[in-house]
Chain A
Amino acid sequence: MQPIGLRSWLGKEQSFSREFEPDMIFGAACLPRHQLMQPTLGIGESSDDLVEAMRVFAQDVSARVDTDFRISVLEKVVLELRHVVNELTTAQTIQVPITSLAPEPYTLKHPIIAIVQPDWDQFIATFFDANITASGDTQNEALDNLKAVLVSAFRRFRQLGEDRLGPGPRKQYAVLKSLILCQE
């Protein structure tokens, strides 16, 4: 450990603001603890010098705590941003026009738009107009399943007849009837 007088230590501190980085004075980041310069009361130094040294030390500690806090906040923000970027790049929602229900014997009067969204490790395809959804392991599978569900629902609604449909399915049937032509 290298003893150093308070005045000379303070002298180093004063020059620190002009030409040194804080770690060059206190060495916390780059020196082992036993190598830090330890200020001691030298000949002719008073308790005022000690008070001044303590003030400077307190200021430095305060600055360090402030910097550490800001760094930890920034680290958190960077992590959150990284997560958001990851979500945006991998979890993209796409709109897919469905133009055909082949090989089922039904045709569409006009293309309909399905929304395919990633969901955990699978995809959900939704035809929002009729509130009909289907899932699949891939985007294609979800879309194929949605087509199958659309046809199955249409067939089932026709089989049951409107009288046996509650408000929800009746609305779905109305939407499907306006879109699907049966070739059977």
Chain B
Amino acid sequence: MARIITKEHAVKIAKKLKAKMRQEKAHAYAEIFYNECLIAWFGIRRSSEKDKGHDHIQRDLHINSHQAKLLAACPLTREDWLEIMSDKGFLR
């Protein structure tokens, strides 16, 4: 599996999804809330390397690699992602 999502992407996605950041020892956690409910979260490794792989984020956000890339690059908005989550039954 080729590297698709780097740490840089992960940070961009967290900002795009207006995630709340929670810091712990080895990881920072991006938590995405909708109507005050935690609907998804993912860990971001503490490392200075921007290209550190974070290819697990697609699974955490219930989207495919292409959508994750779009989320990081811009075309996919938080609203678009919420629609995907809603379609898959991850919003209540």
Contacts and interface: CB of A to CB of B under 8 A. Distances in A.
A131 interface: yes
Contacts of A166: 34, 37-40, 90-92
A184 interface: no
Contacts of A133: 56, 59-60
A167 B39 CA distance: 7
Interface residues of A, number: 25
Given A166-B91, A168-B90, A169-B39, A120 B56 contact: no
Contact of B25 (A121, A148, A156): A148
Given A135-B56, A166-B37, A152 B24 contact: yes
Interface of A: 117, 119-122, 124, 126, 131, 133-136, 145, 148-149, 152-153, 156, 160, 164-169
Given A131-B59, A133-B60, A148-B25, 11 more contacts: A120-B55, A133-B59, A134-B43, A135-B53, A135-B56, A156-B29, A164-B38, A167-B39, A167-B89, A168-B39, A169-B41
User: Which 4 residue pairs spanning A and B have beta carbons closest together?
Assistant: A166-B39, A133-B56, A120-B3, A166-B37
